[in-house]
Amino acid sequence: MLRKFGLVIIAISLLLLVGIQLYQLKNGKEEETRVVEAAVLLEQVREVCKLVTVEGDFTELYTEKNLREVTLYLPIPTYWEFTKEAIIEVRGRVLVGYNMEQLSIKVDSVNRLVRLSNLPQPDILAIDHELSYRNLEESFFNSFSPEDYTQLNKNAKDALRKKAYESDLLDRARAEGNTMLEGIRFMIENMGWRLEYDEPATLTPPESTGVEG
């Protein structure tokens, strides 16, 4: 009898101990140890000459669905479809302007002439964006991997870039660039010089653009 009574006491004590620990954990009384490691790698430094004339803020709701077919033998071949879907809200700031790296400036002091060549067309110079995952649905045989999240990030950024190209940002940047060019002409002619320049080259279509933001 005493032995049974002792076992009951031990069992109750263990339950109380576990309950106290769970309560402390829930209310944050347990000490939490967090280890954060950060490594910053500087891969490349290069000089750039870019002129930002217009910036725009965009919000895009991006949806991507993936379908995977699986054949199960039960015992005859049976085809199953497993889907995964991501709904992402992407917010970004798009910077539009001119890449001036190829611009050529020649000064002819004898004829008092300034000549500009290789004038660029306005283009997207950078995209600063962030993602908010509104919904993620996955299946046992079709789940999201780290590579999937990387690709989702890239696809969402591409969708933002496409929306920026479809907007009036490039037209507004071109207008700002023409205004600046006329200002330069005004200052040069007031000094008794002349300004000449070639027409800017045609902008590469968005589908084949190599601009990275």
**pLDDT tens-place string over residues 157-210:** 898 899 999 999 999 999 998 898 889 889 989 989 998 887 765 444 444 334
pLDDT of residue 142: 78
* Averaged pLDDT of the chain: 77
Amino acid 57: pLDDT: 93
Pairing of strands 194-197, 113-117: parallel
Residue 1, judged by CB atoms within 10 A of its CB (0-12, 13-18, 19+), counts as exposed
Predicted confidence at residue 94, as pLDDT, reads: 94
pLDDT value at position 17? Answer: 52
Q: How many residues does the chain have?
A: 213
pLDDT class of 81 with cuts at 50, 70, 90 = confident
Above pLDDT 70, what percent of the chain?
Answer: 69
Cβ count within 10 A of residue 130: 11
Neighbours of 190 (CB within 10 A): 8
* Domain residue limits, the chain: 51-205
pTM over 0.75: no
Least confident of 27-36, 113-122, 151-160: 27-36
Higher-pLDDT residue of 200, 61 = 61
How much is the average pLDDT of 88-110?
A: 90
Region 43-59 average pLDDT = 82
